[in-house]
Amino acid sequence: MTTPLKFDETRYQSAQVTIDGQVLRYRAFLGLDYVTMPVDAIQQLNVFVPEPYFTGGRVNGYTRVTAPIFMPNTVGGYLPGPRDFPGNQESFSRGATILQALVRGYVVVSAGLRGRTSKTAQGEYSGKAPAFIVDMKAAIRYVKFNAGWLPGNPDRIITNGTSAGGATAALAGASGNADFFETPLQALGAAPATDDIFAVSAYCPIHNLEHADAAYEWQFNDLAEWHQQRYTVVNNQAHRTSLSGELTATEQQLSNELKSAFIPYLNHLELKDHAGNPLQLQADGAGSFRRFIADYLTASAQRALAAGTDVTIFQGVKVNNGRVASLDWSAYLRGITRMKRVPAFDALDLSSPETSLFGSRLIAARHFTAFAQKHSAVPAQWADASLVAAINPLTYLTTHQSQIAQHWRIRHGAVDRDTAFAIPVILATKLQNLGLDVDFALPWGRPHSGDYDLPELFDWIDNLCR
């Protein structure tokens, strides 16, 4: 009898591409089940392995048993994130990332994950929270269960993703082996293995959702105008339209309340800067935590300036004698503008991706904060607080209930307004305060996006693994 979920090394397709004049040969193992009782066709994964590993060869100093296992996901907007492959023409695809990872000698595992719009044949929702992370963990368990059969080092798993996918990557890193997910993993027939991982690469992770509304208003309370880009696909062509408007008086009032709510939350976290000094906020919203973020932005501007970028095209940035002399917080924010209305995530009319994420088998969308439930514009239910906490990486950093990845690389663009800067800064700082290895930056001029610095990301991985 064959062992369920065992990786079969004999069923593959050979592929070859030329990148920068170099021929890259690899084997593709496509459409593998990673659970024995899937509920959605998306629950399969692809494995890509550099060809030399099957003939005793080396790539970038790695061998079949030492190569890191890179697990990028394609989740965006908390929608279903299908398994990916090089040459994939779909807009969500990170096929180029997979190829660059193979050039570096990594084994790449791309798993398809359910999302908030996934449905069963009977029309019930099957991908509401926590499905995305349950599937990610099941894929990780598949990889670890197949230690020795599947090429690569299962003690060197690195997740990677952008935005909601960055949140997925980060949550996998924070919540290793957490009890909360055991029952749903068993129900899918996940492989008998652990799901803690080595490292996380997260770009602009849209996470900490229950505090993201308050953080957003702490940052943008002064700005009544909002500016959005809407993307629509018509006849396979992407169209971009600009939308803007002004907060209503009611929204402005809600913004004031949310801003005030952020201050005790932040202070309660008891974050420390690199020298161990407390990071706090005063009642007016100013304070050492805000200066700490401004310092990250200033350092980012300084690096861009040194690389020859004109950083003064951004409002509030002053340069003097080749140094970034100052960054005016309010002016800088005015320049990058507010993107979202109020509340930014737990929308009062249940129209946001996040309220949809917190739907249930039979309910399209639910609130996930007491604040939005109280102010709801429509008849609405409220997701279980335990579920909301379970998909927040911060939960695992503030209460001991998981095995946390040792190494973290987090990037959030300096002009990204999809969530407040405070959100990634809290994550990075809490990890640092726990003594973990964190590489964090707010890359200058970068909007909401990811995988824009793959050479640096892969150098970071090589420094840890080679």
Say whether 456 sits in a helix, a strand or coil. helix
Report in angstroms how near the CB of residue 213 gets to ligand DHB at its nearest: 11
Contact status: 130 vs ligand DHB (CB under 6 A) = no
Would you call 412 helix, strand, or coil by DSSP?
coil
The CB-of-162 to ligand DHB minimum distance in angstroms stands at 7
Is 251 a binding residue for ligand DHB by CB under 6 A? The answer is: no
* 3-class secondary structure, 110: strand
Per-residue binding letters, 9-48, with ligand DHB (x by CB under 6 A): ----------------------------------------
Amino acid identity of residue 418, one-letter, is D
Task: Give the rounded distance of the alpha carbon of 196 from its chain centre.
Answer: 17
Q: Give the list of residues 6+ apart from residue 135 with CB closer than 8 angstroms, or none.
A: 42, 43, 111, 112, 113, 114, 188
Task: For ligand DHB, give the closer residue by CB, 206 or 311.
Answer: 206
**Residue closer to ligand DHB, measured from CB, 316 or 450:** 450
Alpha-carbon distance 377 to 350, whole Å? Answer: 8
Which two three-digit tokens encode residue 399?
């209460």
Please say which residue, 263 or 423, places its beta carbon nearer to ligand DHB: 423
Q: Which is nearer to ligand DHB, 196 or 354 (CB)?
A: 354
Q: Count of CB atoms within 10 A of residue 63's CB?
A: 16
Strand partners, 278: 272
The reply on whether position 353 binds ligand DHB by CB under 6 A is yes
Cα–Cα dist 354/52, whole Å: 43
Q: How far apart are CA 53 and CA 182, in angstroms?
A: 34
Q: Are 192 and 147 in contact (CB under 8 A)?
A: no
Instruction: Return the range that interacts with ligand DHB (CB under 6 A); candidates 40-48, 72-80, 82-90, 149-157.
Output: 72-80
User: Does 206 sit near ligand DHB (CB under 6 A)?
Assistant: yes
Instruction: Report if residue 76 touches ligand DHB, rule: CB under 6 A.
Output: yes
| Minimal distance, residue 463 CB to ligand DHB, in Å | 28
Bridge partner residues of 411 (DSSP): 203, 441
Looking from the CA of 227 toward its CB, the CA atoms found within 13 Å total 10
Q: What is the sign of the dihedral through the CA atoms of 414, 419, 420 and 421?
A: negative
Residues touching ligand DHB: how many (CB under 6 A)? 9
Sole window of 74-82, 125-133, 138-146, 188-196 interacting with ligand DHB (rule: CB under 6 A): 74-82
Scan for tokens 């027939």, then name that residue.
Answer: 189
Determine the interface stretch with ligand DHB among 71-79, 91-99, 326-334, 398-406 (rule: CB under 6 A).
71-79
Stretch that binds ligand DHB, among 2-10, 73-81, 188-196, 238-246 (CB under 6 A): 73-81
Minimum distance of ligand DHB from residue 204's CB (angstroms): 8
Q: Is 82 in the site for ligand DHB (CB under 6 A)?
A: no
Among 46, 97, 110, 163, binds ligand DHB (CB under 6 A): 163
Would you say 109 or 202 has its CB closer to ligand DHB? Answer: 202
State which residue, 40 or 354, has the beta carbon closest to ligand DHB: 354
Question: Does 77 sit near ligand DHB (CB under 6 A)?
Answer: yes
Q: Shortest gap between Cβ of 354 and ligand DHB (angstroms)? A: 6
Q: Which is nearer to ligand DHB, 5 or 420 (CB)?
A: 420
**Rg of the chain over all Cα atoms, to the nearest angstrom:** 22
Query: Minimum CB separation from ligand DHB for residue 43, in Å?
Result: 20
Name the residue nearer to ligand DHB (CB basis): 102 or 420.
420
CA 411, 416, 421, 427 torsion-angle sign: negative
Residue sitting closest to ligand DHB (CB)? 163
Number of C-alpha atoms within 13 angstroms, CB side, residue 100? Answer: 15
Q: Which of 139, 164, 426, 431 binds ligand DHB (CB under 6 A)?
A: 164
Residue 304: other Cβ atoms inside 10 A: 20
Residues whose CB falls within 8 Å of the CB of residue 321, separated by 6 or more in sequence, listed in order: none
**Binders of ligand DHB in range 405-424 (CB under 6 A):** 418
Q: In angstroms, what CA-CA distances link 385 with 98, 284, 348?
A: 37, 29, 18
Minimum distance from CB of 448 to ligand DHB (Å)? Answer: 6
H helical segments located in 91-181: 95-103, 131-145, 164-174
127 is an interface residue for ligand DHB by CB under 6 A: no
How many beta carbons lie within 10 A of that of residue 161, not counting itself? 31
Given the rule CB under 6 A, which residues bind ligand DHB? 76-78, 163-164, 206, 353-354, 418
